[in-house]
Structure 1
Amino acid sequence: MLMVQSATRMLLLTLETLMLWFMVQQQTADHGCKSRVALVLIDGLGDVSIPSLGGLTPVAAAATPNLDALAHAGVNGLMDPVEPGLACGSDTAHLSLLGYNPRIYYRGRGAFESLGAGLAMSPGDIAFKSNFATLDKATGIVTSRRADRHFEQEGPILCAALDGLKLPSFPNYEVRVRYATEHRCGVVVKGRGLSGNISGTDPLKDNRPLLTVVPLDNSEEAKHTAAVVNELSQEMQRILTSHPLNVRRLADGKNVANVVLLRGCGIRIEVPTFFEKHGLRPCMVAPTKIIAGLGLSLDIDILEAPGATGDYRTLLTSKAVAIARALAAPLDVPPNVFVPGEYDSKPGWPGGYDFGFLHIKAIDDAGHDKAVMLKVKAFEAVDKMIGQLAHLLWQAESGGNVSYSICVTGDHSTPVEYGDHSFEPVPFSICCLKDFVKAIGGESIIAATSMDTFKLPHVSDEGFESPERIDVGKRWARATAGDPVTSFSELAAARGCLGRFQGSEMMGIIKNYLQLY
């Protein structure tokens, strides 16, 4: 009976997937031109008015002619990524934006980080989003939640030392540790009787005591899991404290990475795939492991982008090239049928993609680091990448039967004044590529876009003067798409025709917009 039910379910999934594909193909036949979209998600985009910037936000102060042209030629609005007044995390925000209610589907961020780092997870496993940090052993105070942002050399070595460690009191559990990015790693605990309903050890701010894990309900599983994870934390400290790498860091006067902060305990979510939900073939560029893991959880293919690191040293051009190539590939064959249980080994779509998700992390890092000028200049770098992306997509559109749109928004606000996530809404703009080309001055302008790679600038806030912003609105007597917005910023977006909306509506807006082109 179980085999019959399983076979029936797989047949229904197969039929549903094929029906979605035929629907997409019918849209192509009806309109004569298939629309595809590149969604640029700027992590930590939103901010508040800053006195040193003359009362402007960082994105309003930055010189961003491409973002302004996109807002001017497209439609705009203000978006609350999850709901008004909620200071959300990137994981819950991304779920919401991609059409998955986090209050229903969210199971902790640890699984996203671990999946993105390359750790396989089975039902019943628990995982943590983790930091290498510095602990004052004498006082139990976490003096630095980030042992070192530049930890790419040491991180994998310490992860290898922790991977496979044995818990003396719980020998039947398997511990897997894999390096992620910067100071982060993924941690998975495998075994029977584990619960994701426990707290973590991360105090969330520097100079606070390391926390003891406690159960968040009265179940025996949660109580047992808390004991397992507390012993895991102690064993990790023991291994890290005596590791030669930390002995050398201490001698060099550097922060030692003698503790792993465990937070966001979670299990792998089980949800409809992105294609099943939206009928769009998705791909993603996301060097930040938590976002990549979230994408994998939704069956979104993760693209390689050489030099894209998910931090300040990232090569934004590489991200633009990866997304543009994926969106330029022909859609001439049906997609692979998703088979439950074969999730991680599924090859990419054989016929290309029509939804490309490009994640940018550096803006959020600047907000957390309270670096005003760096956030401003990082926006200018992102603007340059938007121009490169538009250049590549315009080449593809000019030589094929595909029209492209570019959408830019954020997952939350990370004001530099606060150094943490906040509840302010973020700007949202979507624009048809051909209208964008008109707004920047025509085909000759976009054809002249340099594709040279570049790095984010190393800047300080000393002596900063706000750059003169280019008013794209002066080039045209009226906005191309029907709303009065002529620049990309929080206050400008508030005047857009989309009004203020919740993140759960974003995919509907994008799909409706694509049907127009």
Structure 2
Amino acid sequence: MKYLILVADGAGDEPIKELGGKTPLETANIKNINQLAKKGTVGVVSTVPEGIAPGSDAANLSVMGYDPRVYLTGRSPLEAASIGIDMSDTDVAFRCNIVTLQGEGAYEDLTVLDHSAGDITTEEADELIKAVNEKFGNELIQFYTGVSYRHCMIVKNGETDYVLTPPHDILTKKVREYMPKGEGADFIYNMMKESYELLSKHPVNIRRVEKGLNPANSIWIWGQGKKPQLSSFYDKYQIKGATISAVDLIKGIGICAGLKSVDVEGATGTIHTNFSGKAEAAIQQFKDGMDFIYLHVEAPDECSHQGDLSGKISSLELIDEKIVGPVIEYLRSTGEAFRFLVLPDHQTPISIRTHAGKPVPFVLYDSSKETEADESKGFNETAAAASGLFFGNGYELTDYFFGC
């Protein structure tokens, strides 16, 4: 038996007026996933426990089979693991975005225009993070380059009791109300403020402005946490597996769980990612003896954060055409039974441009238990709710997926 979980990050949404009251999933031409739904099982799953912020950290831990209430220590330590940072038990990791701030006057009066600085390239970002580390790094604080706008700060013997806000939650809002809070948070505030002066004048950003691109003119620090301790995925399910994602967080969860992390050339975490390359990588891993692939695609989430409705629909169609179609074709060609689970990790409604904690739809297909096609089934919120099938925790759905 082969197993594949495909996470269409942020694909879940609410009915949208411009779509005639339908959601992006109901509107998109996703014939391959819908075909799986018609002959499989559809339902609804709550991936984020009540009381936990609906972030990709909690949601993907849950979908990968881990209770976030037990294992979540913050997203940044998971990202640090992906970068290859060897954290001690007293280190604290922070996510360090490089963002675009806009406006005039004091730092606090600026507006958060773009949490990703126009999906800045990793090569450009590396120059900026090196400049930040040269300015602020010392024997206790170090900055590390990640991917695109997502980077990491490690503080030795650090604290976690700060109130820090994800920048994608405050797009178009002024900085003032969302500055770091808590005892001892001044050092974070000071670095963020001083980074604006540093990065605004950096040659990378001068070139970006000349090209009409958003400058990465400030760091934004959030998502703090200590070293995670995940139990072994193999010990849990007795299955060898790999993760395929362009996002450090997902890679980090997989690495901490003992899964192989597979890099795909041209995988960006945006709608311009290498969709076909991800499908090819999954197929190759199966050919190389892996039993399970956790394939994560960030594009729908990034389009939602940007308020790009047409892009979100297009990203879903590209996932269906360039990933699901080829992978299903390969799995059927082997003659071996397989299970395929498709779901968002969480909602990212276009209307609010950030994550939401409502339950999301899923499709679970088992080639050995294929049912007669039911045309009422599909991978969307309406069909999933109509099924009456509900899992109260994401990890329970994953247990069911491997054990049913």
Alignment match of 2:360 (pick from 426, 431, 443)? 426
CA distance, structure 2, for counterparts of residue 325 and residue 318 of structure 1: 10
Contact 2:100 2:117 in 1 (8 A): no
Alpha carbons of 1:415 and 1:185: their partners in 2 closer, same or farther (altered >3 Å)? closer
Contact 1:485 1:496 in 2 (8 A): no
**Match of 1:407, as an amino acid?**
L
Q: Name the counterpart of 2:97.
A: 131
Q: CA deviation at 1:286?
A: 0.8
Q: 1:49-64 counterparts in 2 under 5 A?
A: 49-64=15-30
Alpha carbons of 1:245 and 1:62: their partners in 2 closer, same or farther (altered >3 Å)? closer
Q: Name the counterpart of 1:292.
A: 251
Identity %: 27
CA distance, structure 2, for counterparts of residue 358 and residue 147 of structure 1: 22
Q: Name the counterpart of 1:369.
A: 306
Residue 2 of structure 2 aligns to a residue in which SS? strand
Q: Name the counterpart of 2:378.
A: 487
CA distance, structure 2, for counterparts of residue 419 and residue 201 of structure 1: 15
Q: Name the counterpart of 1:507.
A: 398
1:65 aligns with 2:31: yes
CA distance, structure 2, for counterparts of residue 256 and residue 405 of structure 1: 44
1:158 aligns with 2:117: no
**Match of 1:507, as an amino acid?**
T
Alpha carbons of 1:185 and 1:142: their partners in 2 closer, same or farther (altered >3 Å)? farther
**Match of 2:292, as an amino acid?**
F
Q: Name the counterpart of 2:275.
A: 316
Alignment match of 1:119 (pick from 72, 77, 85)? 85
Contact 1:84 1:502 in 2 (8 A): no
CA distance, structure 2, for counterparts of residue 310 and residue 250 of structure 1: 23
Residue 292 of structure 1 aligns to a residue in which SS? helix
1:149 aligns with 2:118: yes
Q: CA deviation at 1:238?
A: 4.7
Q: CA deviation at 1:232?
A: 3.6
Contact 1:47 1:424 in 2 (8 A): no
**Match of 1:243, as an amino acid?**
H
Q: CA deviation at 1:359?
A: 0.2
Q: CA deviation at 1:90?
A: 0.8
Alpha carbons of 1:294 and 1:161: their partners in 2 closer, same or farther (altered >3 Å)? same
Task: Give aligned pairs, total.
Answer: 396
Alpha carbons of 1:323 and 1:207: their partners in 2 closer, same or farther (altered >3 Å)? same
Alpha carbons of 1:213 and 1:55: their partners in 2 closer, same or farther (altered >3 Å)? closer
CA distance, structure 2, for counterparts of residue 68 and residue 85 of structure 1: 33
CA distance, structure 2, for counterparts of residue 499 and residue 190 of structure 1: 41
Q: Name the counterpart of 1:473.
A: none
Alpha carbons of 1:235 and 1:99: their partners in 2 closer, same or farther (altered >3 Å)? same
Alpha carbons of 1:235 and 1:125: their partners in 2 closer, same or farther (altered >3 Å)? farther
Structure 1 unaligned runs (5+)?
Answer: 1-34, 216-222, 330-351, 440-475
Residue 387 of structure 1 aligns to a residue in which SS? helix
Contact 1:494 1:500 in 2 (8 A): no
Q: Name the counterpart of 2:233.
A: 274
**Match of 2:380, as an amino acid?**
S
Residue 337 of structure 2 aligns to a residue in which SS? strand
**Match of 1:375, as an amino acid?**
K
Alignment match of 1:214 (pick from 181, 195, 209)? 181
Worse-matched range after superposition: 320-329 or 112-121 = 112-121
Task: Give deviations 1:266-294, integer Å, cap 9, x for gaps.
Answer: 12211212122222222100111221122
CA distance, structure 2, for counterparts of residue 328 and residue 252 of structure 1: 44
Q: 1:317-356 counterparts in 2 under 5 A?
A: 317-329=276-288, 352-356=289-293
CA distance, structure 2, for counterparts of residue 156 and residue 407 of structure 1: 36
1:96 aligns with 2:62: yes
1:379 aligns with 2:327: no
Alpha carbons of 1:356 and 1:201: their partners in 2 closer, same or farther (altered >3 Å)? closer
Q: CA deviation at 1:505?
A: 0.8
Q: CA deviation at 1:253?
A: 5.7
CA distance, structure 2, for counterparts of residue 74 and residue 157 of structure 1: 48
CA distance, structure 2, for counterparts of residue 301 and residue 132 of structure 1: 28
Q: CA deviation at 1:506?
A: 1.5
CA distance, structure 2, for counterparts of residue 371 and residue 253 of structure 1: 19
CA distance, structure 2, for counterparts of residue 189 and residue 89 of structure 1: 21
Alpha carbons of 1:296 and 1:137: their partners in 2 closer, same or farther (altered >3 Å)? farther
Residue 107 of structure 1 aligns to a residue in which SS? coil
Normalised by the size of structure 1, how large is the TM-score? 0.70
Task: Give deviations 1:475-503, integer Å, cap 9, x for gaps.
Answer: x6x54xxxx85322111122336345421
How large is the Cα RMSD of the aligned pairs? 2.6
Structure exhibiting the larger radius of gyration computed from Cα positions: 1
Q: Name the counterpart of 2:153.
A: 188
